[in-house]
Structure 1
């Protein structure tokens, strides 16, 4: 073992070391990863749908609401930790009925609506939306949209966590599974 022959090969690549930060070398514990997976899965299926609070919040179409779970799954599969574009449309729709919005929010709303009809193949609506929706959003509008998506995502997850806390059974006193009670003679 002392006389190892080491041969270093030079392939002629002139590469500088990468400047990217080293990711956390300690991987998440299995229990933490499992807990995150369960919360993410419950978030997809059971989180409430966040809509703009107004008198018009019941006017969101059922078809749109029914597609939110699938849109959440598609967003999760892309690795995005934010609300789906379908959720953005559902959130903004009641606001559009109340009062006119600034032009950047109109662009965001119509662009998200166009993405929704393309994703769920609403062929009758695509032609109408093509005339209204911008082809792409400006960098400023994309920033506004991203902040809104993250905000909706955080609100729905917090609502899920709050509902889970209320559903968890609260034990008062000794547990009925206590061994002393199980083997007690009468």
Structure 2
């Protein structure tokens, strides 16, 4: 039973790793103009889709792509309807200012599915290529479930583990794993040791030793993809 639970946790962690793939934009240099709020929505929607077993890009990713596409290439009427409809699914209050249809045709819904599948595959390919090129060190994630919380440790070879505690059970902690990994990497950017440690000088004859000074913590894409087919 425990082995099955461990296998499920490993599978979910592997799937959640896919949420870290880059957002795919239309080439043209407009990716920096995409509103930050829609970029932030990408990770949330990705995690929800992965946990549901979906293998498509999210609505937010489709909006990011079409946003940059619309600034690079004039959209025809059909894709304008698709874009405005997706935006109003995310922000219903914008229906008052956008001339979006109440519903799309079956052909338009098929076009959205094809685009989302293409965006997901492209993001996964970019993530794998980046992983192979940078050859990152293997991360180790250890979790200890308690009555009302889960202790989580993120470790990497040659680095001290970064520990934290998340209230709730596995269902609450798993969606936070990507954020915990980002926080661990940010801390390791400051120092591989946590907290940053400086070895004290050898004690003098008096037997006194100076304490190490505390280190101040510091705070720590897009590629081409074919245009959506009309």
Query: Normalising by structure 1, what TM-score?
Result: 0.63
Deviating beyond 3 angstroms after TM superposition, the runs of 4 or more aligned structure 1 residues are: 29-39
What residue number does 1:40 align with? Answer: 15
Are the aligned partners of 2:49 and 2:58 in contact in 1 as well (CA < 8 Å)?
yes
Q: More helix per residue: 1 or 2?
A: 1
Task: Give the deviation of 1:62 after TM superposition.
Answer: 1.0
Change (3 A) 1:127 1:149: same
Encode CA deviations 1:32-90: one digit per residue, 9 max, x unaligned: 9776533321111x111111111322211111111110111222244321000110000
| 2:136 is aligned with 1:161 | no
What residue number does 1:8 align with? Answer: none
2:55 to 65, 76, 81: 81
Task: Give the deviation of 1:166 after TM superposition.
Answer: 2.5
Unaligned runs of 5+ in 1: 1-28, 171-186
Task: Give the deviation of 1:108 after TM superposition.
Answer: 1.1
2:73 to 79, 95, 99: 99
Unaligned runs of 5+ in 2: 138-230
Task: Give the deviation of 1:151 after TM superposition.
Answer: 0.2
Counterpart secondary structure, 2:91: helix
Query: Normalising by structure 2, what TM-score?
Result: 0.52
What residue number does 2:110 align with? Answer: 143
Q: How many residues of Structure 1 are paired with residues of Structure 2 in the alignment?
A: 134
Cα distance in 1, alignment partners of residues 8 and 125 from structure 2: 19
Are the aligned partners of 2:24 and 2:123 in contact in 1 as well (CA < 8 Å)?
yes
Task: Give the deviation of 1:112 after TM superposition.
Answer: 0.9
| 2:84 is aligned with 1:113 | no
RMSD: 2.5
Cα distance in 2, alignment partners of residues 148 and 39 from structure 1: 24
In terms of Rg, which structure is larger?
1
Matches within 5 A, 1:61-80: 61-80=35-54
Are the aligned partners of 2:25 and 2:68 in contact in 1 as well (CA < 8 Å)?
yes
Are the aligned partners of 2:12 and 2:51 in contact in 1 as well (CA < 8 Å)?
no
Counterpart secondary structure, 1:67: helix
1:49 to 6, 12, 23: 23
Change (3 A) 1:135 1:145: same
Cα distance in 1, alignment partners of residues 52 and 78 from structure 2: 26
Change (3 A) 1:77 1:111: farther
